[in-house]
Each structure stands twice: as structure tokens, then as C-alpha cells.
Amino acid sequence: MKENIYITRKLPSSIIEKLEKSFHIDMWEKEEEAIPRELLLEKVKEAKGLLCMLTETIDEEVMEAAPNLKVISNMAVGYNNINVNEATKRGILVTNTPGVLTETTADLTFALLMATARRLVEASSYLREGNWQTWSPMQLTGMDIFGATLGIIGFGRIGQAVARRAKGFQMEVLYYNRSRKREAEEEIGATYVDFKTVLTKSDFICLLLPYSPEVHHLISKNELSFMKKTAVLINTARGGIVDEEALYHALKNKEIWAAGLDVFEKEPVDLSHPLLTLSNVVTLPHIGSASIATRMKMAQLAADNLHNALSNRGTVMKVNDPVQA
């Protein structure tokens, strides 16, 4: 008898074909809507494997409802939606999809930086709303990117990929990371500095570090106060890294110039969120990895992780080393 796998979002048939040969597949058949929590708790009861999205909170309650669960395959690089410590204690392996989205997310990060700096979204709305009546010297003026200083907080694969793009604009690249990356420094031409120096010296600051409780609200009122009044903050990492209330006040009071946000503390973001009222904020619906090719690679890797882990063969991108009962 085939073991049960539950998939929390509709995936292309080409992705699940391999899984279907070895396992019994049950899948939430909607692509644009997250599975209701109550249904998830029901569906995992018999599951040995779970392929989930960032939209699902896989906590102690879910694991308690799934006594047979052995593998949680997250279709994402980040995994702050999963209680990894609880999974480890219960002997459940957690996997993710690193590597495949590096260049796509770097593209989006730099695109968001450019759109925010040059007020592209605001300018498009200005034209469409019929406000373009004449030319004036300071109309919709933005910030220059070429030759500016870029500060990167989190110098992993994506941070380094963004730095390479910045070099094409002859930007000076400063970075802060928990560990110094000397080889990458030499290859890219980036300079390692302390956290406060990144904040005080940079014209653009990109947040590209993984989320963990240790970096919750890493950027808050105090850190924002160190930044230039002309600084632009870009966050394509995780929403919880930024204190959104502090950011709102800094932007509203012109303590910093603008922000580009692909992520929020609560997703989807509430349409009444104060940040959405500001013209100097460019907002996106968490689309950092949203190219067709990359999303297909992520889905395939998540499926392969699940298949290989349950079959006990092949490569598995492990997040934890679970305690075996």
C-alpha cells in the first residue's frame, strides 16, 4: 500500500508525476487560495509526507494532528513558517529549496531598488490619472543609482548576486554579515563594515538575510535614525526583520527618503496598513522568486526532496537533523 503525501497547493502535473508513481497523492486543488487551517489539520492525519508553502503555519498543532508525518518539504528557501525545533524533537525531517531562486530574487531586488529610486510606480500612476499636464524642472525627480553607495545586510548567495549587479552601475558596495566573506569580497569588490557603518554610509540599503527570532525588528526606530535622510531601504528578505510602525513614521516624517517592500510582517498585507498610504513606498506581493522558470525549479526541488527523503535515497536539502524515535 502506497504511503500518503499531502500537498497544500495545486502544482503542475509534471511536478507530481514522479511522486504519484511511489505515493498516494492528495492535493489542495486551488492555486490562488491557501488551504483553510481546519482542512489542513484534517488532511495531515494520514500523511507521511507534507509539501507546503510559506502560507501554511506548520506548528505543534499540525504535527500533533499528523502522527505518521516524517517529512515536511517547504517550497521556499526560508522556513520560518515551520516550527523546526518541534519537528526535530518529533523525528520529522524539514527540507527547503535553496539555490534555485538566487538570481531571480537578485533581479527582483535590484528592480525594486531602481523602481523606488526613480519613483516609477508613482510616475506611472501620475500619467494614468491625467496629472501630466506639463514639464517642470523637479517633476517626479528621484535618486541616482549610478555611482551611489549600496549597503547589503546579509551577504549570502542572494546578497552577493545583488552586489554583482550593483557593480554594473559602478556602485560602491558595503556589506554586513555575521561572518566575513573574504573570497566574495575580492571577487566582487565589496567592503566588509560593521552594521552601523552600513546604515550611516549607504544611499541604498538592501535587506537580504534569513529571518530568525534574533533578527526580529533588526531595523527599527534606532537603526532608521542612523540612515541618511536621502536613504532608500529595500526589503526582499522577510517582513519581520523591519519594524513596520517605525518605518512608517520614518518615511512619513521624511527621516529617510523611500522604501521598497516585497515582504510584510503579515501576509497578505492588510489594505488598511499605514505604509500603503505613503507615496514614497513601493510595494509588491512577495514576488521575489516569481519567474516561471524559477517557480517550476522550486516546485520540482520540493517534490524531489520529499520523494528522496521518504525513499531514503538521492539528494535531500535538509534544514534539520531530526531525532529518530
What pLDDT sits at residue 325?
A: 45
Q: Domains of the chain, with CATH numbers?
A: 3-99+292-311 (3.40.50.720), 102-283 (3.40.50.720)
Separation of alpha carbons 295 and 319, rounded Å: 20
Residue 300 and residue 73 in contact, taking contact as beta carbons nearer than 8 Å? no
pLDDT digits (tens, 9 = 90+) for 139-187: 999 999 999 999 999 999 999 999 999 999 999 999 999 999 999 999 9
d(CA 185, CA 163): 10
pLDDT of residue 188: 97
Closest CA to 16 of 1, 32, 27, 2: 27
CA distances from 142 to 145, 274, 282 (A): 9, 22, 13
- As a residue count, the chain comes to 325
pLDDT of residue 129: 96
- Looking at residue 18, its pLDDT comes to 86
Set of cell numbers at residue 174: 558595503
Note the pLDDT tens digit of each residue in 196-249.
Answer: 999 999 999 999 999 999 999 999 999 999 999 999 999 999 999 999 999 999
* Angle, CA of 171, 235 and 173, to the nearest 5°: 20
Overall average pLDDT of the 28-52 stretch: 96
3-class DSSP assignment, residue 89: helix
286 as an active site residue: the answer is yes
Q: Percentage of residues in the chain with pLDDT exceeding 70? A: 99
Give the helix/strand (H/E) hosting 39: helix 37-43
Average pLDDT of 289-300? 95
Q: Which pairing describes strands 258-261 and 191-192: parallel, antiparallel, or unpaired?
A: unpaired
**Cβ–Cβ < 8 Å for 64, 40:** no
* CA dihedral of residues 104, 106, 107, 109 (deg, nearest 10): 120
Task: Examine the residue annotation and report whether 118 is marked as an active-site residue of this protein.
Answer: no
Give per-residue pLDDT as tens, 111-138: 999 999 999 999 999 999 999 999 999 9
pLDDT at residue 324 in the model: 61
Among 90, 165, 238, 295, the active-site one is 238
Q: In percent, how much of the chain has pLDDT > 90?
A: 96
Of these residues, 165, 286, 295, 307, which one is catalytic?
A: 286
Residue 249 is among the residues annotated as catalytic for this protein: no
d(CA 306, CA 302): 6
- Look at residue 323 and tell me whether its pLDDT is greater than 90: no
Give the pLDDT confidence score for residue 154 in this predicted structure: 98
Strands (E), 135-218: 149-153, 172-176, 191-192, 204-207
Please state, in angstroms and rounded to a whole number, the distance separating the CA atoms of residues 304 and 73: 9
Lowest mean pLDDT: which of 23-27, 31-35, 234-238?
Answer: 31-35
Cell of 120: 516609477
Pairing label, strands 93-95, 71-74: parallel
Residue tagged active-site, from 20, 29, 33, 267: 267
C-alpha–C-alpha distance, residues 43 and 59, integer Å: 15
Please answer whether residues 85 and 107 qualify as being in contact, where contact means their C-beta atoms are separated by less than 8 angstroms.
no
Residue 231 and residue 205 in contact, taking contact as beta carbons nearer than 8 Å:
yes
CA 142, CA 119: separation in Å to the nearest integer? 6
Q: Could you give the CA distance from residue 18 to residue 302 in angstroms, rounded to a whole number?
A: 12
Mean pLDDT rounded to a whole number for the chain: 96
Phi then psi dihedrals of residue 134, to 5 deg: -160, 175
